[in-house]
Structure 1
Amino acid sequence: MTNNAAADTMVHSAMRRALELAARGPATGVNPRVGCVILNAQGDTVAEGWHRGAGSTHAEVDALSYLAPGVAHGSTVVVTLEPCNHVGRTGPCTQALIEAGVARVIYSVTDPGERSRGGADRLRAAGIDVQGGLWSIDGEAFLGDWLVAARLRRPFVTLKWASSLDGRAAAADGSSRWITGPESRHDVHRRRAAADAILVGTGTVLADDPALTARGLKGEQLERQPVPVVLGRRELPASAALRSHPQQPLLFDGRDLPGLLADLHERGLRSVFIEGGPTVASAFVAAGLVDEYLVYLAPTLIGGPRLAITDIGVTGIDEQRRLSVHSLDRLGDDVLIVARPHTT
């Protein structure tokens, strides 16, 4: 193996390790999960770091902190996201790398942030060799929801529904407990806990009185709870279960969905899990604001008018909302389809 080939292998291994380190950070909130590996001139790993959440040191600075002064001089820094170029709660990573005297920076994903981007250009201006796009497919997939939030200035929106094989979310009398089995319901609670917010309409609150909490197998509340968001203009009963939610509910009239999502983004919420009924679900679909669909299908037939999705603005077959299946999983007797909007 040539020296160049050996160096490339070490860099690729370092990026793989950086992604593993990034996964240790919190998967929710406004900050991305970032991992960093520093290699010396021989290609050996001399330091590792990752971002532990808002207000903590960024991955590059975290890795540098484990090195004595001067040790990072001439090193190669491998990081999952382009080093930031702005002052927030912490200083810019670009400045820290320049002051450390690193020779080369290799990153996976370009930072789309309005304030934080531009790090690569600043590093090049300081004489540092910079390469972007290494393992970009893996990096983009890893940072998927954060990238959507950063690029669109709104949370990543997941729409979930459970239905029979014939597309019904409830029986004719409105009853819907339970269409799917316990395995599917447990999966929903796991995904609730991974989201920053859970959203429903007032119709769901008044009809089902949901707690909107994330719960474990024994019904216990999980440590992390999404912020409940309710859309509608009807008053919620003082006895509503969600008023006892660990997080303060946010109430909106639901007339301006893009404005609602922008508001949630400003509050630091980067992912929204929609569990509203067909009216809320259809409104988000029609507005083109759904990034991911979770459809839990139960092997049963219900019939009747209670569809999971109603009018979404499709009048002809050429207007259909084409989706791409991301995954297909068996949960007990049910099937979970994860789909995303089709892109050409």
Structure 2
Amino acid sequence: MHFTTFFFLLSAVFAKNILMSNDDGFAATNIRALYRDLKADGHNVIMVAPVSQRSGWGGKFDVPYTKDLLTDGEFGYRVKGDPAWGYEPDDMNIWYFNGTPASCVSFGLEYVIPKYFSNFTVDLVVNGPNEGLNLGPGTYTGSGTIGATYNSVYHGLPAIAISASNSNNSFYKDSLDDDPTNPANINSKVSVKLIDELFKAQGDNSRVLPLGVGLNVNIPLVGSQSVNGSCTSPKFVFSRITGLDSDVSKITYNETTGLVGTTYVYEEALRTCYNGDCSLPSEAAVSQEWNCSTAVSVFQIDYDATLVLQSQVQGLLHELF
């Protein structure tokens, strides 16, 4: 009895307010699994995510220009003619919005929370887990999951982008279960472990991450999708967004067909290190070469060059200033 009371009080102390979004849609399995498990962990969670698939929209800020949906949402879970935003009939903490991931977070902050949850102060924004990895600088600018994350950081909020290797876009009503080998459940378990560790380390600090800082997290193939089902509890590895094995898209042209395509190439610029710990592996290297490992990269939104680089360029242009 005393132990139960102590556990309840301990959970209450660490209960935090979390705003969630993604780019795969509010009905995707991964985000529903994490929403379920964060709530079960004692946190207060509000989800505001796109009604449709918005992968690859980056940080674009797109809002609906009609009050109703002009097309069906992802999986047909919301249909043409439904309101452009709304919540689940049986759970008012789960909202959809006909916008991009970045605008979904803003809609949550500027409309949903003030209007319906006035006592809710966001401690952390969690985007994902994405269905598919987001590795390297190319996906940093192109991923809707990461776009929602750095937009959250722009607004002064601690934020995490979480991406997983299970790239199949699945409907939670078809795929969400309690199977411990289900990748969505393991992705959620890994995410909760990381989030809880951050909150535990926060202590009496007012913020869980420094101002202007976010995390990019990439989880490997796990559970039934890993080799022989062997990866069920991946270790965490600190990584860099850039570095060895980071690649960038490049156009190819086929002389025979006259068509263009894309390929990925490694460029020296992506291996050049100016900031942070240059000895860390790139998140791409962790994903490709480290067995059963989750890459955790720290980024900042101060995109200005270092003082040394600024001085070099100022020297080149000194006659103009």
TM over 0.5: no
TM-score by length of structure 2 reads 0.29
The structure with the largest helix share of the pair is: 2
Q: Give the number of the structure with larger relative contact order, counting CA–CA contacts within 8 Å between residues 6 or more apart.
A: 2
TM-score by length of structure 1 reads 0.27
